[in-house]
Structure 1
C-alpha cells in the first residue's frame, strides 16, 4: 500500500507518531518500575547470603540484554519482510507476559530463565524507533526521533519512583501484575490504533543475504564505526549507574540517600528530555556526523569533572549537563542509519545497531564495577570520559575518509562471496 499524499497521509503519520510516543512512555516506565526492587525480590525468595543476592541480581538483570543482543537483527530482518507493527505487537505482549511470569517465580533460577525469555522479545523501543524512522522523511528524521525519545525518557524518569512506591504499598507480586497490565495495554493500543504504511520498494529490489549485510556493515567505515560508538556511548551511560547511589552516599550525610540518588540519576534524564529534539533538528540541518562529533566532546567535558565534586549539588548540575549532551546521541545515530541504509534492509541494519547498544548495556555495569574495584568510584567518571574522547577521534578519523555508498559496498561484498 502506497501512502496517500496530502492531509490523510499526514494525519496517519501524526497519529502513528503519538501512539508510538505514548506506548513508549508506558513501556519504558513499566519496565524500569521493577528495577529498584529486583535484588529485594531475589532476597525474598529464600535465606540467601548478600553475596549470593548480588551475584544473581547481576545475572538476572544482564541476561535479558544478552538475549536481546542476539535477537535484535533477527527481529529487524523479519520487520523488513512483514512490517514493524507485527514485531511491536509480539514484543509488547511478550514483555507483558514475561513480567507477569516474574511475579509467579518460585526460585531464583526460574526468575533467571523468565528474564532470558524476556530478552527474546525485548525490543519494543528500538523497534518503535526504527518504525518511526522508516515512516519519516530523511530530511526531518533527526528532529522526529529526538521528539520520540522524549516519550521513553519520560517513562524512564518516572518508572523507578512509581515502581518503588508500588512495591512498598502493594508488594512485589501485585506490582508485577500491574506493570504487566500496563505494558499489555500499550501493546493493545499499537495493535488497534497503529496503521503501518508499507514501504515502497524499488521494482526488482535486490534481496541481500544476511552474510552480505554483515560484511557490508563491517566494510562500510561510517556505519560500522557509528555502531561501535553506539556501544561506547551505552558503556559510558551504564558504567556509573550501579555505583551512583554509593557515590552519592559519600557526598551527603543525609539519611535519604536512596531518594537523593534517584534525583541525581533523574537529572541526566531531565537534560536528555530538554535537548533531544533540538539536537535532532540541528542534525537534520548541518549533518548528523557534525552534531555527534560535538556531543561526544561535550559529554567528555561534563563527565570528567564529576570525579572531583565535593558537594552533591555539583554532581546534580553536572549530571544534568551530561544528560543534555547524551540526549542527542541516540536519535542522531538512528537518523544516520536511516540515511545510509537502503529501505529494503533498514530494519536489519537498525537491528545490528540495537545489538551494539545492548552490548554496551551489558559491558557498562561490569566495566564500571571493575574500574571502581581497582582505582575507586570517582575514577569511573574519568575512564568513561576517555571512552567518549576516543569515540570523538574515532568519528573524526572516519569522516576524514572518502564517503562510501552502502549499496555499492553491499554489491561489492556480494560479488566477493560468489
Structure 2
C-alpha cells in the first residue's frame, strides 16, 4: 500500500474514533452538569448551552491560527496536538468539581478542537485537485459514521459505568486515535511553487474579503451549518409531538437523527466525484436546491415515518456540501496558504454551529418548531441565490487578488 492510501485510511479510521468519541458525551452533558450540584432547571439549561457553545467559540478563533502553523510546520503536528489535547480535555471533564471548572475545561477544549477539519485539510493537501471532491466525500463517511454510533454508545456507557468512567474511556479512545497519527501517518512534503512566498495574515484576510467566490462560499458554509444545527436541539421535541404518548421518544429521536447521517454516508462520495467532473459550484448549487426541496415538507408531516424518510433524503443532499466547499477551497488556494484558508473556512463552519441552535430556538419560541424547517429552507434558497449571483460576476484569480492586496499593504 502506497503512503497516500495508507494516510487516507489512517485519517478515515481516526476520524471515526474522534467523531464517535466526542459525540459520546453529548447525550448526558446536561445531566452531568445537574450532578455537580443542587441546581434549578433554568440554571442547568442555561449552563448546558454555555458549556456546549464555548468550545465552538474558542475553535472559531483558533482555526486560522492552527492553519497558519500547519502551513509552516505541516498538518501532522497539529493533528497530534489536537488529538492529545482533546483527550486531555475530556479526561479533565470527568474530574470537574464545579460548573465553572467544567466551563473552563470546555473552553480549553475549543482551543485544541479541530482534529476533523485539520484532517480534511491534510487529505486535501495530499490529493490532486482533479480528485479532491471524491476523496473528501469518502473521508467524510468516517466522521459521519462515528457521529451515528457515538451518542447511542455514550448514553449506554453512562448508564452502565457512570459519567466519570465514560469520560475516561472516551479519553482513552481518542488517545489511541492520536497514537495512530503519531506512529502511522507519514506526511508527504508538499511541493511549493518556485515563486511562492509567505503572505502576511492581513494580506490573506484582505484577499478573502476581496475575492468574491472565496468569501461567499465561506458565508455559504456558515449558512449550511446554521441550517443543519438550527433543528438538531429541537428534533427530539418535534418527534415527541409526532409520537404523543410514546414511552420511547429518546430512541425514536435517535433513529430520526441518524437517518440524516445514513443519507450523508450513502451519497457524500458520489457528490464529490460529480463535483470533480462537472465543477464544484454546479454541484453545490444543486445540493442547496435539493436541501430546500427536502427540508420544507418536514414542517408538514403528520407521522414519524414521513419525517424519517425526509431526513434521509435531506442527509443525501447535505452530505455533499462540506466536501464540495472544501474541494473548492483546495482548488482556489495557493499551496503555501492552504492550511490557513481551510482554517478560515472552518471558522465559518464553527460560526454556523454557534448561531444555528440559537437561531432555531428563537424561531421555534416565536412561531413553533415546525416553522424552523421552513425558515431553514429559505436559508438554503438564499444561499443558492447568493452563489448564483457570485458566479454571474467575472472570475477572479485568488493569487492575483493576494498580490494586489500585498502591494496595497506595502
Q: Shorter-chain TM-score category?
A: over 0.9
Name the counterpart of 2:8: 17
Instruction: Count residues in correspondence.
Output: 409
2 CA distance for matches of 1:127 and 1:409? 25
State the match for 2:403 in structure 1. Answer: 411
Match of 1:383, SS? Answer: helix
Distance 2:69 2:289 in 1: 37
- Structure 2 residue aligned with 1:6: none
- Deviation for aligned residue 1:416: 1.4
Residue of structure 2 equivalent to 1:278: 270
State which of 358, 362, 368 in structure 2 corresponds to 1:370.
Answer: 362
Distance 2:372 2:195 in 1: 52
Query: Shift of residue 204 of structure 1?
Result: 4.2
The match for 1:348 is: 340
Query: For 1:54-65, what aligned pairs fall within 5 Å after superposition?
Result: 54-65=45-56
User: Which residue in 1 is equivalent to 2:213?
Assistant: 222
User: Deviation digits for residues 133-165 of structure 1, max 9, x if unmatched?
Assistant: 000000000000000000000000000000000
Query: Would you say 1:191 and 2:182 are equivalent positions?
Result: yes
Task: Name the SS of the counterpart of 1:133 in structure 2.
Answer: helix
How do 1:141-180 residues align onto structure 2 when only pairs under 5 Å count?
Answer: 141-180=132-171
Structure 2 length-normalised TM: 0.99
SS at match of 2:96: coil
| CA–CA separation in structure 2 for the residues paired with 1:197 and 1:345 | 16
Instruction: Confirm whether residue 333 of structure 1 aligns to residue 325 of structure 2.
Output: yes
Distance 2:195 2:395 in 1: 26
Alignment of 1:16-415 (within 5 A): 16-252=7-243, 253-415=245-407
Displacement, 1:129?
Answer: 0.1
TM-score by length of 1: 0.97
Q: Cα RMSD (Å) of the superposition?
A: 0.6
- The residue that corresponds to 1:3 in the other structure is none
Gaps of 5+ in 1: 1-9
Please, which runs of 5 or more residues in structure 2 have no aligned partner? Answer: none
Deviation (angstroms), 1:348:
0.2
Greater alpha carbon shift after TM alignment, 372-381 vs 202-211: 202-211
Q: 2 CA distance for matches of 1:408 and 1:385?
A: 36
- Listed one character per residue, the Cα deviations across residues 160-209 of structure 1 (whole Å, up to 9, x for unaligned) are 00000000000000000000000000000000000000111122422110
- CA distance, structure 2, for counterparts of residue 47 and residue 350 of structure 1: 43
- 3-state SS of paired residue (1:202): coil
Give me the whole-angstrom Cα distance separating, in 2, the residues matched to 1:22 and 1:210.
33
Q: How far does the alpha carbon of each residue in 1:205-254 deviate from its partner, in whole angstroms, 9 at most, with x for none?
A: 22110000000001100000000000000000000011000000000131
C-alpha distance in 1 between matches for 2:246 and 2:388:
44
Task: Give the Cα–Cα distance (whole angstroms) in 2 for the partners of residues 199 and 404 of structure 1.
Answer: 25
In the alignment, the residues of structure 2 paired with residue 129 and residue 345 of structure 1 have an alpha-carbon distance, to the nearest angstrom, of 15
Structure 2 distance, partners of 1:149, 1:341, is: 21
Whole-angstrom distance in 2 between the partners of 1:402 and 1:134: 27
Displacement of 1:402 after TM fit?
1.1
